Chain A
């Protein structure tokens, strides 16, 4: 079965724009209009954040949005309810991103079953380690045509990058720096070396660069070293303040992708 993520990477070789938002933020019922607005503004891939009370890999912006989302009443079941008919209006690949505990409590089988019914294409679960994934989760994920997206960082050894490449089926999420999400980043020489080092490995999987991509310049720079980049905290931050959701989304996307 063809997965929308694979199709995207086959058709678009560069400048893939992926955007993360926290489901339930700023308002509980923003999920569907948010996804639709992101799609109509030309976003290629969406990461839907499932809020968690203790997001250790996230910086202050996503911690805050997660807290508000939970206070608004967001939960895994609520999110699944909201997404029920999403494929009637949205074609681009959708990924769910969140921490392992809410998935375990929902039940891994039931969770993957729901994802597959809705038309979710992949999952990013930062605290699900490779070994546990392969022993306990892989068969279930694959049965439901779900890609598990792994992360690599500047500290990941070449040997481990190769192991992750072997285990990956969608793309590899290349964390730009040693940081939690939302850290300020520029493409330093250190990062340039890291990006080039990874590119020289001739991996099977394409990469998207995330963490610290916050504006047109960092997006453009990241795109030179990978198939595209992921914006998270910068987008979540842009949802603050007055204005309609549509205007905030289009304003943000236009600030990232300068139309030529």
Chain B
């Protein structure tokens, strides 16, 4: 089975580039040049150097002893939370800012949910001296205030998206409209493995450093490259794409994605796309999405702004359909419990998004002797207000 994108930009039946004509020149330019750019010697040099010396990679792979003891198994944490800017998002923004420079663009736009991608974009724009505009749902501007302040301090302009539920989907709409209005000098740094081809593939390649490292780190620590399973949260699915990437063809490795069920999959307030969705086109790619029977996109909900999205990357839709990966869900309450558990057992405050991956530990049967890697995609600083509200400290 082939899990990679084909030459037409599809993963099985999912993917493609359902773009308005106004976006065609930019997408064609990117499609025809991204592989040549990211495979070039110069690019590799600069990318690897920045990941190491700027972002602080490799991120540690840490055997969580007390957590392992509790679940009577071996649990390793991939510490993407320790990257510069506090999440895996920096892997992609470093890659894309270098692509943007090669394409001669000097204005950068991005969408953001939790603010982690916006922050990572604002950061690399400061680093490269490029103008940065970040679209963020007005609700998210409110609930992720610390990241908004950081982005502004970094020199980015943060524009609240006022349509829809004023969350990630709406921010993405606004960023796409900006690109239509500014087709010449602008590069759109999409933050997840969503959007038209070649974005899902390009972002997955930049994030694949996560699983590349897991393999050699695990080998170094345990003498085997393949764990029993890898668990990651999925909204659009970029950290999961990165954590799964080098295991896709290792069929003995179980891959588990955890969606945000919000207040429960039986309620209207949920973002469990693969669990509840059906095939359709959102944000220029054919994937699985939450929608009405009439094809209107549903308004999602999750406590976690980064997973509050009614679609999912086409790569995940394909992994779901082919059953290469299994997708489960966790509710807001389960996620809060798991966040507190990690905090008090291991001294690591995870992002709400990453706590979804941790919640899976209670939902699957871990056996002694098995090795489970949980991707801790980001740190919890930005979520302190939510945590404090719920835990009452």
Contacts and interface: CB of A to CB of B under 8 A. Distances in A.
A105 B25 CA distance: 28
A132 interface: yes
A61 B293 CA distance: 25
Interface residues of A, number: 39
B104 to A, nearest CB: 15
Interface stretch (A88-96, A146-154, A191-199, A233-241): A146-154
B18 A178 contact: no
B21 interface: yes
Contacts of A104: 279-281, 295
Interface string A173-184: 001001110010
Given A155-B184, A180-B180, A183-B181, A102 B295 contact: yes
Given A54-B282, A101-B281, A59 B21 contact: no
Prevailing SS type, chain A contact patch? loop
Interface in A119-161: 126-129, 132, 150-153, 155-157, 160
B291 interface: yes
Nearest to B182: A178
Residue in B21, B169, B279, B283 with the greatest tally of chain A CB atoms within 10 Å: B21
B163 interface: yes
Contact of B20 (A70, A77, A151): A151
Contacts of B280: 101, 104-105
B129 interface: no
Interface string A66-78: 0100100001110
Contact of B25 (A53, A57, A132, A155): A155
Contact of A178 (B16, B22, B284, B294): B22
Contact of A102 (B164, B181, B279, B294): B294
A57 B222 CA distance: 52
Contact of B16 (A59, A102, A132, A180): A132
Given A128-B18, A151-B22, A178 B183 contact: yes
Contacts of A63: 163
A179 B20 CA distance: 11
A5 to B, nearest CB: 19
Given A54-B164, A101-B297, A129-B17, 15 more contacts: A52-B295, A53-B296, A53-B297, A54-B169, A56-B173, A99-B281, A105-B291, A105-B295, A129-B18, A129-B24, A150-B21, A155-B22, A156-B21, A178-B22, A178-B180
